Amino acid sequence: MEREVLRQRCARKRFWIVLAPLLSSTVSLLVLAWAGRNGWSGDADQCVANDGCYCEEFRDGLIRQPVNTWSCMAFVFAGLLCAVHAMRNHDPRGGRLASTVIHPAVIATIMALIGPASMALHASMTKWGGEVDGFSMNVFAAYCLALGLSRRFGWNDTRLWTIALLGAVIPIGFRFIPGFPIRRE
């Protein structure tokens, strides 16, 4: 009986693996829709001036790059699929992504949030949209790097979170260094 109660409690906790990316991406998409409700405010992204806005031609209107914008939903779906897989394949003897709730929820949420963040750029073609898009990818890469390093070197969660945070924040600081190659004007 105790074993069944424990199993049900663990199953309820694992539900957060799916709920976290679902709620965060839904809220992000609603915020993005609200931000663009009357058109997009803010300076144009530098790619507009350079005529190098990735692969789709820039258009006037509410969604400046419709195909690029809507295809960003693939990240939301990928994050949710990863979350469902992690929730169903819980293994207490596995690594962080198999045995915990926090790590699969975090990676699925970050992956899902790349979608709305990229949509911010492709829908608005604004400088702030480009920053949000870039930051989302920095966070994902930093977390994956920290997760891999912590697995390789046997680091605890404190070191993992520290490396992930530094990896996400340091690239932002580089943008303020005059003459640095990734500085955005």
Whole-number pLDDT of residue 144: 95
Average pLDDT, the chain: 86
Averaged pLDDT, 41-49: 77
For 56-79, write each residue's pLDDT tens digit: 777 777 888 889 999 999 999 999
pTM metric for this prediction? 0.85
Q: What is the pLDDT of residues 76-119, one digit of tens each?
A: 999 999 999 999 888 888 888 888 899 999 999 999 999 999 99
**Token pair for 24:** 């965060």
Q: What are the pLDDT digits (tens) for 110-144?
A: 999 999 999 999 999 888 898 899 899 999 999 99
Q: Which distant-in-sequence residues (6+ apart) come within 8 Å of 183 by Cβ?
A: 174, 175, 176, 177
**Helix, strand, coil shares, percent, the chain, to 5:** 70, 0, 25
- Using only the alpha carbons of the chain, give its radius of gyration: 19
Percent of the chain with pLDDT over 90: 51
pLDDT given for residue 60 in this prediction: 78
Question: Which tokens is 28 given?
Answer: 């992000």
Q: How confident is the model at residue 183 (pLDDT cuts 50, 70, 90)?
A: very low
- H or E element that contains 120: helix 102-124
